[in-house]
């Protein structure tokens, strides 16, 4: 059993979570994912990595890569919470969690994800 | 090298066949860059290729792990006959999940370099150990799909797709004061001298090959670098690749440096003229009692 998959499975216990994935920010590659199969996940992962890079750029040249902690996106039916786990090597690793908006509360989901996130890479 | 397969882009099919047959062993791939693929029950646990930096290079060059710590872990793993990955985790140099993630990233990059290069053939060999195997090993289907995706991403940029052998030069004015480059682009620009290839830059900075290609494609789009397409003729030592052609109005390379010409004497450095005159005077004073002729035959 993959250690990463084991730790990512913990996120499925959070109310409303459909998918949890670890994404390489530099390449947009899904390193590991768990949850409901989603044929669009690869494309979503690449977009999420682009968002993280764009957010870092928006923070300005004076900010360090570690300044960006989380990006939340709210759509009509979904909540996307992307949390930076590492800022190195390369551009780091990002945890992406896709939630059903109707079954989730963004604040609570963000809090629960931030509590579980540190254990992913340990 | 004796090849058991004959390929024209068939390596992907063969890897899928090995996956179905749950093959365990080593596949030595001939070509450019070529490499070695380690298979366990049909899954790929490692790929060594000169086309992409290994995890060791990435960790050391990015200073995620210091050389001293790496050497100590390597020695301890060798002495105790343990896996290097376990040693790195036990020494708290990396987390277990982190090792798995970084190994999957490095493996995907190595496979991308291998399958997107030229494949001349391959041979099977018995199972062998490698330094940093991925456990559990990855499905070849996933790695091949990722390599395909990477190719599509690079092809989506305007202009010819960046290739590993292309040489990179800084565009004129790219390093102007006040110009803000994206994260990680300063280091690439500093090393882009018109002679280093994309692959060279990836190794020098300890970044993935695809990561470097992607970054350079973005930098080309923002006119920060010039990508000089790969040609089999290496650039001549005296003429940087991408230099302005002879006869051009300005006498500079695309990087803004003075262009070196074979037919032009280099300007004398400060004090060099004085030193040359002094040397000539010394020769004039040399005794000729042994009958040694002077350079002018006298």
Query: What DSSP string describes B156-187?
Result: TSSSSPP-TT-EEEEPTTTT-TTPPPPTTHHH
A89 and B150 within 8 Å at the Cβ level: the answer is no
Predicted complex: ipTM over 0.85: yes
DSSP code of B129? -
What integer pLDDT is reported at residue B49 of this predicted model? 97
Length reported for chain B: 298
Inform me whether the pLDDT recorded for A103 exceeds 80. yes
On average, the pLDDT of chain B sits at 82
User: Tens of pLDDT along B110-148?
Assistant: 999 999 999 999 999 998 889 999 999 999 999 999 999
Collect all residues of chain A within an 8 Å Cβ-Cβ radius of residue B102: 89
Collect all residues of chain A within an 8 Å Cβ-Cβ radius of residue B97: 3-4, 7, 120-122
User: At a CB cut-off of 8 Å and minimum separation 6, what does A16 contact?
Assistant: A79, A99, A100, A101, A102, A103, A104, A109
Average pLDDT over residues A5-15: 96
In sequence order, what are the beta bridge partners of B193? B169
DSSP code of A77? S
A89 close to B (CB below 8 A): yes
User: Tens of pLDDT along B53-72?
Assistant: 999 999 999 899 999 999 99
Pair B120, B155: CB distance under 8 Å: no
* CA A55 centroid distance within chain: 14
Query: Closest-CA residue in chain A for B178?
Result: A61
What integer pLDDT is reported at residue A99 of this predicted model? 97
- Rounded alpha-carbon distances, angstroms, from residue B93 to A108, B86, B104: 33, 10, 18
Half-sphere exposure of A62 (CA within 13 A, CB side): 0
Pair A96, A80: CB distance under 8 Å: yes
Q: pLDDT-based confidence at B235, cuts 50/70/90?
A: low
Inform me whether the pLDDT recorded for B256 exceeds 90. no
CA distance A95 to A52: 11
A92 close to B (CB below 8 A): no
Q: pLDDT-based confidence at B8, cuts 50/70/90?
A: very low
Collect all residues of chain A within an 8 Å Cβ-Cβ radius of residue B85: none
Pair B217, B198: CB distance under 8 Å: no
Please name which of A89, A30, A10 lies closest in space to residue B64, comparing C-alpha atoms: A89
Instruction: Give the one of A29, A31, A121 whose C-beta lies nearest to B95's C-beta.
Output: A121
Q: pLDDT-based confidence at A56, cuts 50/70/90?
A: confident
């Amino acid at each position: 059993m993959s250690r990463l998959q084991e730790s990512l499975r913990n996120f499925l216990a959070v109310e409303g979570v459909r998918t949890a994935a670890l994404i390489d920010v530099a390449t947009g590659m899904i390193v590991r994912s768990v949850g409901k199969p989603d044929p669009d996940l690869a494309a979503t992962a690449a977009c999420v990595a682009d968002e993280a890079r764009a957010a870092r750029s928006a923070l300005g040249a004076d900010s360090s890569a570690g300044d960006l902690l989380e990006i939340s996106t709210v759509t009509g039916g979904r909540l996307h919470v992307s949390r930076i786990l590492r800022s190195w090597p390369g551009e780091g690793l990002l945890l992406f969690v896709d939630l059903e908006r109707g079954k989730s509360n963004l604040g609570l989901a963000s809090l629960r994800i931030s509590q579980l996130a540190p254990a992913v890479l340990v | 090298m004796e090849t058991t397969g004959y390929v024209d882009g068939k390596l992907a099919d063969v890897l899928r066949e090995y996956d179905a047959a749950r093959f365990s062993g080593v596949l030595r791939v001939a070509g450019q860059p070529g490499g070695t693929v380690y298979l366990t029950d049909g899954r790929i646990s490692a790929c060594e290729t000169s086309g992409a930096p290994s995890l060791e290079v990435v960790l050391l060059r990015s200073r995620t792990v210091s050389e001293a710590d790496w050497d100590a872990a390597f020695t301890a793993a060798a002495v105790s006959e343990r896996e290097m990955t376990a040693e790195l985790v036990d020494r708290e140099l990396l987390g277990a999940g982190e090792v798995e993630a970084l190994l999957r990233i490095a493996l995907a990059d190595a496979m991308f370099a291998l399958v997107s290069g030229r494949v001349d053939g391959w041979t099977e060999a018995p199972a062998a150990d490698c330094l940093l195997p991925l456990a559990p090993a990855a499905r070849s289907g996933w790695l091949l799909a990722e390599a395909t995706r990477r190719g599509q991403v690079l092809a989506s940029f305007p202009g010819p797709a960046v290739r590993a052998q292309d040489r990179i030069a800084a565009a004129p004015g790219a390093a102007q004061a006040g110009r803000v480059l994206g994260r990680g682009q300063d280091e690439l620009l500093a090393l882009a001298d018109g002679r280093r290839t994309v692959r060279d830059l990836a190794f020098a900075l300890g970044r993935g090959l695809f990561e470097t290609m992607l970054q350079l494609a973005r930098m080309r789009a923002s006119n920060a670098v010039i990508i000089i397409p790969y040609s089999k003729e290496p650039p001549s030592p005296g003429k940087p690749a991408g230099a302005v052609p002879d006869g051009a109005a300005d006498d500079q390379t695309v990087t803004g440096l003075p262009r070196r010409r074979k037919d032009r004497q280099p300007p004398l450095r400060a004090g060099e003229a004085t030193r040359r005159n002094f040397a000539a005077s010394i020769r004039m004073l040399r005794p000729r009692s042994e009958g040694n002729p002077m350079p002018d035959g006298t």
